[in-house]
């Protein structure tokens, strides 16, 4: 049934979800954004339900998670859906970013920058949620990550004590993390709405990189059917992983209550942060490691530079650009694997080599458009 164009909101929905002109050549890679929207909605709903049984206190946090999991109807399922959903969210987020880089979505700077800000906020939200169960890895991850703020000159130690609410990670720290973890997803939701708005303002990219293609058709029903099929497939896979191996995404050490007197042998973050963790620990200098960690993520903002010739429409149209792209992807996967390995030889040596290679590729990707633009202006 077609929506009537009477009210401005209904008109917007009609133009956005029904008669929106969409390129006819969009592939499955353009579904990642809509999948992320569905997962975000699920995470928000599950988070609100879990919040009703969670206690943000160091003496009660761990036990409240256990009580919710074991003594609440389907509590185990809600917890696993929330933890597994976070992993699925970052999986499709990386696929979404990778598709945007490959096909040149950064040529819409406002849209791209909002997406990068969403990614940064999601990193913070996921880290805060990782701390809340107050297990061994949660406690020591909070200690290690917050200590990185001490590298800020002059005021670093003061900032760390302010974040902690004292001289060590304790109850004030958990309370603040709990509050921020509840608040940030709504900020992300607002930015997602803004992201979708600018998507409709500037239009979708497409595999051919053609800005104004005459080969378009209405979003419904062509793409709604295609999206629905993919949603069903991913939903079945998600339920299968959650119900069979849901605890695979939770570190075994985190089933032990936090103990400030016992340091785990191998402290590591979730898999979606392992590449940055490998870069951090491969730099012997603490300040250098923190700067390398920041650059490894913030370099995404540099893609907004206007690119001529080689990178104008993405990395797909030139053999050398494709080589750089897939080299970056391969190094990303290797660093992710190295992040799970102990900080000892030979893994540490390989991490150092791969970290340098990672930044060489980034430097090449960023500097070549500047050189191309310079010669383009001279011409």
Over the stretch 216-271, which tens digit does the pLDDT of each residue have? 667 767 777 777 888 899 999 999 999 988 888 888 888 999 988 888 888 888 89
Q: Measured between alpha carbons, how far is 126 from 47 in angstroms, rounded to an integer?
A: 12
Averaged over 338-356, what is the pLDDT?
Answer: 89
Contact 67, 53 (CB under 8 A): yes
Helix (H) or strand (E) holding 23: strand 21-23
**Using 50, 70 and 90 to split pLDDT, how confident is the model at 116?**
very high
What pLDDT band is residue 352 in, cutting at 50, 70 and 90?
Answer: very high
What pLDDT score does 16 carry? Answer: 54
| Neighbouring C-beta atoms of residue 192, cutoff 10 Å | 19
Which phi and psi angles does 297 have, rounded to 5°? Answer: -110, -45
Q: What is the per-residue pLDDT for 175?
A: 92
The three-state (H, E, C) secondary structure of 129-145, written as one string: HHHCCCEHHHHHHHHHH
Mean pLDDT of 97-110: 85
Question: Per residue in 321-345, pLDDT tens?
Answer: 788 889 999 999 999 999 988 888 8
How many Å apart are CA 221 and CA 125, to the nearest integer? 35
Please say whether the beta carbons of 79 and 68 come within 8 A.
yes
The predicted structure's pLDDT at residue 376: 44
Q: Which of 124-133, 270-279, 297-306 has the lowest mean pLDDT?
A: 297-306
Mean pLDDT (the chain, rounded): 83
Cβ neighbors of 44 (< 8 A, separation 6 or more) are 185, 189
DSSP secondary structure, 208-264, as one string:
T--SS-S-EEESTTHHHHHHHHHHHHHHHHHHHHHHHHGGGGS-GGGGSB--TT---
SS3 21: strand
The pLDDT score that the predictor gives to residue 357 is 94
Tell me the pLDDT tens digit for each residue of 135-179: 999 999 999 899 999 888 888 889 999 999 888 899 999 999 999
Collect all residues with Cβ–Cβ distance below 8 Å to 244 and sequence separation of at least 6: none
Place of tokens 């696929």: 95
What are the percentages of helix, strand and coil residues in the chain, rounded to 5? 70, 0, 25
Q: Is 74 left (phi over 0), alpha (psi -120 to 50) or beta?
A: left
């Amino acid at each position: 049934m077609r929506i009537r164009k009477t009210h401005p909101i209904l008109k917007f929905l009609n133009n956005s979800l029904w008669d929106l002109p969409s390129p006819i050549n969009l592939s499955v890679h353009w579904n990642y954004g809509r999948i992320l929207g569905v997962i975000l909605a699920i995470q928000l709903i599950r988070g609100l339900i879990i919040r009703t049984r969670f206690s943000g206190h160091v003496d009660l946090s761990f036990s409240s998670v256990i009580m919710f999991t074991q003594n609440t109807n389907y509590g185990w399922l809600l917890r696993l859906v929330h933890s597994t959903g976070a992993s699925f969210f970052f999986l499709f987020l990386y696929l979404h970013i990778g598709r945007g880089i490959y096909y040149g979505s950064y040529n819409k700077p406002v849209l791209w920058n909002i997406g990068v800000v969403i990614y940064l906020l999601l990193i913070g939200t996921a880290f805060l949620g990782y701390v809340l169960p107050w297990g061994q890895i949660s406690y020591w991850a909070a200690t290690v990550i917050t200590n990185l703020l001490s590298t800020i000159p002059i005021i670093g130690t003061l900032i760390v004590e302010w974040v902690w609410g004292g001289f060590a990670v304790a109850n004030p720290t958990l309370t603040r993390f709990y509050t921020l973890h509840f608040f940030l997803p709504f900020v992300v939701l607002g930015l997602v709405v803004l992201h979708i708005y600018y998507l409709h303002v500037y239009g979708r990219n497409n595999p051919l990189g053609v800005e104004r293609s005459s080969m378009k058709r209405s979003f419904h029903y062509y793409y709604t059917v295609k999206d629905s099929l993919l949603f069903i497939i991913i939903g079945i896979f998600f339920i299968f992983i959650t119900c069979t191996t849901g605890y695979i995404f939770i570190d075994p050490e985190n089933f032990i209550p936090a103990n400030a007197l016992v340091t785990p042998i191998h402290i590591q973050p979730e898999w979606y942060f392992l590449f940055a963790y490998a870069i951090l620990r491969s730099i012997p200098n603490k300040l250098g490691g923190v700067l390398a960690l920041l650059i490894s993520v913030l370099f995404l903002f540099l893609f907004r530079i206007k690119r001529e010739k080689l990178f104008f429409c993405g990395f797909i149209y030139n053999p050398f650009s494709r080589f750089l792209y897939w080299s970056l992807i391969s190094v990303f996967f290797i660093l992710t694997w190295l992040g799970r390995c102990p900080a000892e030889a030979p893994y540490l040596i390989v991490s150092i080599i791969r970290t340098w290679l990672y930044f060489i590729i980034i430097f090449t990707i960023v500097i070549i458009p500047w050189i191309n633009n310079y010669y383009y202006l001279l011409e």
